Amino acid sequence: MRRIAIIGAGTGGTILANALAKKLRTEVRGGRLEIVVFDGSESHIYQPGNIDIAFRGANPKAFRRPPTQLLSREVKLLKSPVSRIDLENRAVIYDGGAKMGYDYLVVATGSIAAPEIIPGLAQASLNFHRSQEDAVRVWEALSAFRRGRIVVLPALPHKCPPSPVEAVFLIDELMRKRSIRKDVEIIYATPYTRAYPAHGIADVVEPEMEKRGITTYTLFNIDYVDPAAKKVYSLEGEELAYDLLIAIPPHRGADVVIASGIGGEEGWIPTDKHTLKIKGHDDAYAIGDATDIPISKSGVVAHLEAITTAESITSQIHGTGKVYLYNGRINCPLEMGGRKAVFVSGTYVKQPERQNPSTTKYLMKRLFNRLYWTMLSGALEPIFNIYLGPPYEVKVVADDANKSP
Ligand SMILES: Cc1cc2nc3c(=O)[nH]c(=O)nc-3n(C[C@H](O)[C@H](O)[C@H](O)COP(=O)(O)OP(=O)(O)OC[C@H]3O[C@@H](n4cnc5c(N)ncnc54)[C@H](O)[C@@H]3O)c2cc1C
């Protein structure tokens, strides 16, 4: 019996497993193929929900579900974290030393906020990226805040590029609702040259920030924080005092990637940006935040890479000679407060464009929060295909289906 092993039952791993189960149902039911997913977590977290938890006081329970509820019956979930990946011998080690071989592997282990990388940051700051509990702490601190300076401080790399800007706008909105905006100074200190890395989006965001009295510091790369003095220092030699520091800490890949020596010190797996194969391996893929692909670390990317990889593995198993190449499509909402949002959309070759913030886009984001759980099952894929088309190009590679182009 052949086996597809997927490490991680987050956004990418779940969508992939369900898509494979649909495409390869006959093989699985006939006992010729096994789809195994490894994940030790009790809950699958819908991470964009952390925005609602941190800035609107939403209940974290609304944004988590047990992984077993989300995976197709054809998928076998092993509730154990993988401790080592052995690409050379096509095996994963889990559960205190058990070893499982595979025919195809997909690493979908995500990324994690690591404030401890920067001296003083973990002690001095709150964040809404690492966990739901962290997001709750942000809400508690904002609710108790009366007057003074709030600094929002992203460090690179981090997942969800729009999230720091969303934080700034939603803090502004919250303080206005509480009628204390005049007593609160909001500062956004970004490592980029503009308030948003894509110029089309920066053109929209910057005037809004100015209008709302939000001060932006550009080219501010955090060096260290002095929690006692309540000051942040940048590599560029600037210092910034704060009363409340909300950081978007630098992220790194999963421990297992680092421990297995397949992603350098920071844990990003070298991955072909089109085939999504781990470089140098024809039977192993990486998707989502875990890769070193220069694209936003976002749920939408994990989703579209999962769809592309499901096609590729199915093609390899069926020997069709087709290769599926991800086109780098992204489509992330950016909330701007006041029930307005823009969509950061593009591909590997098309930069996000300037657009007017709209209530329709805001409502689409809210709707998506509800549709997420259904989307994991693959039920919405036909609709996405009608409106957006597939996120890949298909090439036929005669007699050589399994090779990267
Ligand atoms: C505040 C916030 C807002 C966001 N907003 C958006 C948004 O609006 N739009 C958007 O597209 N994206 C958004 N994102 C980003 C999005 O949530 C992530 O990019 C996405 O979840 C990445 O999917 P993934 O499958 O790569 O990783 P994840 O969904 O993080 O899943 C990784 C899984 O791997 C598992 N794992 C890790 N190590 C092991 C191991 N050793 N063995 C087994 N399993 C393991 C973990 O338990 C986890 O279940 C947001 C993120 C945050 C924090």
CA angle 181, 185, 190 (to 5 degrees): 125
Res 387: pLDDT: 87
DSSP 42-91: S-EE-TTHHHHHHHH---GGGGEE-GGGTS-TTEEEE-S-EEEEETTTTE
Any residues with CB less than 8 A from the CB of 392 and at least 6 apart, and which?
307, 308, 311, 324, 325, 326, 327
Query: Which superfamily, per CATH, for 114-247?
Result: FAD/NAD(P)-binding domain (3.50.50.60)
CA dihedral 69, 108, 55, 142 (to 10 degrees): 120
Res 35: pLDDT: 98
Best residue among 132, 289, 300, 344 to mutate for probing ligand 1's pocket (most ligand atoms within 8 Å of CB) is 289
Give, for 306, the enclosing helix (H) or strand (E): helix 299-318
Q: Tell me which architecture the domain covering 2-110+254-396 has in CATH.
A: 3-Layer(bba) Sandwich (3.50)
Tokens for 39? Answer: 């994940």
Pocket of ligand 1 (CB under 6 A): 7-13, 38-41, 47-48, 50-51, 81-82, 108-110, 128-129, 159-160, 163, 254, 256, 288-290, 297-300, 302, 332-333
Res 401: pLDDT: 46
Cα gap 278→327, rounded to integer Å: 17
Contact between residue 128 and residue 247 where contact means Cβ atoms under 8 Å apart = no
With H, G, I as helix, E, B as strand and everything else as coil, classify residue 5.
strand
Report the nearest-CA residue for atom 48 of ligand 1. Answer: 10
The total of other beta-carbon atoms located within 10 Å of residue 257's CB is: 25
- Residue ranges of the chain with per-residue pLDDT less than 50: 400-405
Contact between residue 344 and residue 162 where contact means Cβ atoms under 8 Å apart = yes
- Listed in order, the ranges of the chain carrying CATH 3.50.50.60 are 2-110+254-396, 114-247
**Model confidence pTM above 0.95:** yes
Res 404: pLDDT: 42
Cα gap 168→187, rounded to integer Å: 8
